[in-house]
Amino acid sequence: MKENSLESNSEQSIFKKKEYNNILLFGIGIFSWLAIGSFAYLSQIIMKNIFFNFNANPIMIIWTIEVVRLLIYGFGILYTINKIKENSLKDLTLFRNSILFLILGQILQFLTPFIMDELNGENYLENAINYNSFMKESYTYLMIPTFFGVLTYIVAGLIIYSKRNMTKITVPNNS
């Protein structure tokens, strides 16, 4: 009777540990995705400000910031998956780091307008107005961020799918 009890307890503790790790992995995924998004958006803000200071072509601005955002998401997801697969950091450490990176990204997003405002040139406001006027003239250009948003999800799915474990589970034959 005690053997069954011990066996049952060990199975329960293994199940609880696995469940705990799955919950941590879920948390790592959520907070890493949010942190990556935070830094991607931060890069868009900074790049837009830089382009407005140099009177860049609006089409170049929109395509460049969207491609860079896509690259940040792609490399961020690859980095996170590699850290999880390497298990070089413990799950709890990776979870904490993903939360800290999210908080850091949010703080930097808050501070960026104050810093960038000091760096803006004379033509910044005029170029920003011209950019917004150009974007309103053709709604086709307003669809570019939507296209890249959907493409980001597709790329994320493909990366995750390609990096999944390729273990084959064999089911015993009952016959």
Collapse the DSSP code of 136 into the 3-class scheme (helix H, G, I; strand E, B; otherwise coil) and give the result: helix
Domain ranges of the chain: 2-163
Are the beta carbons of 79 and 12 closer than 8 angstroms?
no
Give the HSE-up count for residue 93: Cα atoms under 13 Å, Cβ half-sphere.
6
- Asked if the model's pLDDT at residue 18 lies above 70, the reply is no
What's the sign of the alpha-carbon dihedral 159, 154, 70, 49? negative
User: Over the stretch 21-47, which tens digit does the pLDDT of each residue have?
Assistant: 778 888 999 999 999 999 999 999 999
- Asked if the model's pLDDT at residue 73 lies above 90, the reply is yes
Longest dimension (CA), the chain: 83
Region 66-93 average pLDDT: 87
**Residue with more model confidence, 143 or 4:** 143
pLDDT tier for residue 12 given thresholds of 50, 70 and 90 = very low
- End-to-end CA distance of the chain: give it in Å, rounded: 32
